[in-house]
Amino acid sequence: MKKLGLLLLAMMISLSSCGGDNAKKAKESADQAVEATKDAASEAGDAVKEAAEKTADVAEEAAEKTADAAKEVVDTAKEAVSGVDGKTVFMNNGCIACHQVDKKTVGPSLKTIAASYVDKKDDMVKFLKGEGKAIVDPAQFAVMQPNLNTTKNMNDADLSALVDYMLSVK
């Protein structure tokens, strides 16, 4: 707006002036007007650039926040699954492939295993940590053994929930 005022002023001066140097004054005014327009254009360009940079910053920040929030939701869900639901641990680690609830397949049924471990939760935890002996079907232990690599590496919460589930099957 200031630039526009200058421009008007310059035009008024050029219009109202009289005498021999009218042409020279008009040229000066015109030059000033061109300069003022150039300045205004460059200022506007800077403002647009600045606004675009700010928008990019805000967008980037928002994207980061969204990613963080999504990660948190996934972590919470994982925690809920591993900490609470032993059945999910059992299913997710492929145990169901050999252990059905009440019929023998490749491995003994969950009912058979639970019957052998009544009041022996600690013993089953030890077995799954690779620190105990097979008591259900020792002759077939070689088939079960590779799975101990999975259960050995579980955290205590997962392992405890898993054993609780296996013992809960009656």
Contact footprint for ligand HEC (CB under 6 A): 93-95, 97-99, 106-108, 113, 124, 127-128, 134-137, 140-141, 143-144, 147, 150-151, 162
CB of 79 to ligand HEC, least distance (A): 20
CB of 159 to ligand HEC, least distance (A): 9
Closest to ligand HEC by CB, 34 vs 97, is 97
CA triplet 54, 59, 63: central angle to 5 degrees? 150
**Token pair of 81 as six digits:** 């699954």
How many other C-beta atoms lie within 10 A of the C-beta of residue 70?
A: 10
CB of 61 to ligand HEC, least distance (A): 43
Q: Give phi and psi for 104, each to the nearest 5.
A: -70, 130
Closest to ligand HEC by CB, 10 vs 144, is 144
Closest to ligand HEC by CB, 5 vs 130, is 130
Burial class (CB in 10 A: 0-12, 13-18, 19+), 99: buried
CB of 123 to ligand HEC, least distance (A): 8
How many other C-beta atoms lie within 10 A of the C-beta of residue 44?
A: 10
